[in-house]
Structure 1
């Protein structure tokens, strides 16, 4: 008689939001800190941080939910685009020119896409 193995059910709910919320909070605090350092008002920096946190948290959550439906290459590209856009935006807040922030964002996107693809390629069955 064989032992029956069961695959644990994927739990949806609060635990699924944990990582996206933490990433959003980290991004929002970072964005607000940069904005405040560069002369924005306390209220303006706080609003920017809250909006940035909400946007990043929702995008991370949506990507996490949709990733099983994506091919390995598309999934790696999506992670790269999200990370590159976030880092490029933070660089633009810090006073970098649009061109410099865009080029750094593209570089970060390419690196993240390559690393993500490697992880997905070597870890999937």
Structure 2
């Protein structure tokens, strides 16, 4: 599962950076590196998250989701303020959802 998510994330990052232009070596390299980093961080968080208390676990997933989405949004022509606002909104939504899930399942 982490490998599939990493591939999708890398393709998404490369497509955002390309912005409809031709495929270049830089786009491919960005996609590969982004996918590898995303996959490694995702696998590491999946490994470490069960040892954390529910508040920190929800916070860790929220930070991961916010940063991941913010990076993808930052590759477009969006302003820094819009990128930060959207990443914060995604992180808040993920935190609320994951905290609720962990709080009701423990």
Same fold (TM over 0.5): yes
TM norm structure 1 = 0.79
SS at match of 1:119: helix
Match of 1:35 in 2: 17
Match of 2:28 in 1: 46
Instruction: Flag the structure with more relative contact order, 1 or 2, with Cα contacts below 8 A and sequence separation at least 6.
Output: 2
| CA RMSD of superposed structures (Å) | 1.3
TM norm structure 2 = 0.93
Query: 1:20, CA displacement in angstroms?
Result: 1.6
Q: Which has the larger radius of gyration?
A: 1
What CA distance in whole angstroms lies between the structure 2 residues aligned with 1:40 and 1:34?
12
Structure with the larger helix share: 2
What CA distance in whole angstroms lies between the structure 2 residues aligned with 1:40 and 1:67?
40
State how 1:88-99 maps to structure 2 within 5 Å. 88-99=70-81
Q: Which runs of 5+ in 2 are unaligned?
A: none
State how 1:1-125 maps to structure 2 within 5 Å. 19-37=1-19, 39=21, 41-124=23-106
